[in-house]
Amino acid sequence: QGSEVKGATCVFPSRSSGGDLLQSNEHKEKACATGGGNHQDNGDIKLVTVPAVSGRLLRLDGEDLHAVPRPHDLWMLPFVKGGAEYKPEEVWGRSVILFNVWPGEEDPPLNVSLDSNEGGEGEAHTNELCNAFSEWNEVNVVQNTQIEVPDTQESNQSVKVWLLGNERRRGYPMRTANLLSPAHGGRESLRKALSEKSLVTELLLRQQ
């Protein structure tokens, strides 16, 4: 990944569109696949940041809104001009491998052919690049309230989340969803989480 693409994937559990970020729901959030648990939604917006680490696999509910802001502090920049940058590759490039999986008790989508097992059961593969599942380690999710951040007393607490797609996909007419930074640590805590090299962090953004 490029020098300006820190690579932290941002997941908003139980929020499927930009419009969901601005709705005050009364239901309990479902547990996030990346960690955390249920809590009563009181206007806070749960955000989980997952830095890109070699060999790390992020598994999440495909309905959850997710994004990789670039540069990493994009949501806090005062003004963004023009479209996204893609070149030079060493600055703005980013390669991602995505795949979908379905629980064993669920049927896959209709009219989608399944990959065949070309290797066959028990055949040895000498070029495998993935460690055995027994060697995987689950990563803990750290609450941002457990992390010390400088008390900068920053007056501006706004967080502008940029949304992709047309209005129907965004579920909101505007291109950005305006929120407030976490009560603990403010925008500095969000900057820290977005620039983190390894630590998976859960924060609570606030509705305005």
**Which is more confident, 119 or 112?**
112
Confidence of residue 40 (pLDDT cuts 50, 70, 90): very low
pTM summary value: 0.77
Mean pLDDT of 108-135: 67
Mean pLDDT of 128-157: 80
Give the contacts of 140 (CB within 8 A, at least 6 positions apart): 35, 200
Question: Does the pLDDT at position 151 exceed 60?
Answer: yes
* Token representation of residue 119: 């290797």
The Cα angle at residue 171 between residues 106 and 62, in degrees rounded to 5: 25
d(CA 20, CA 49): 18
Q: Is 36 exposed, middle or buried (0-12, 13-18, 19+ CB in 10 A)?
A: middle
Kindly compute the dihedral angle of the four CA atoms of residues 65, 68, 71, 75, in this order, to the nearest 10 degrees. 10
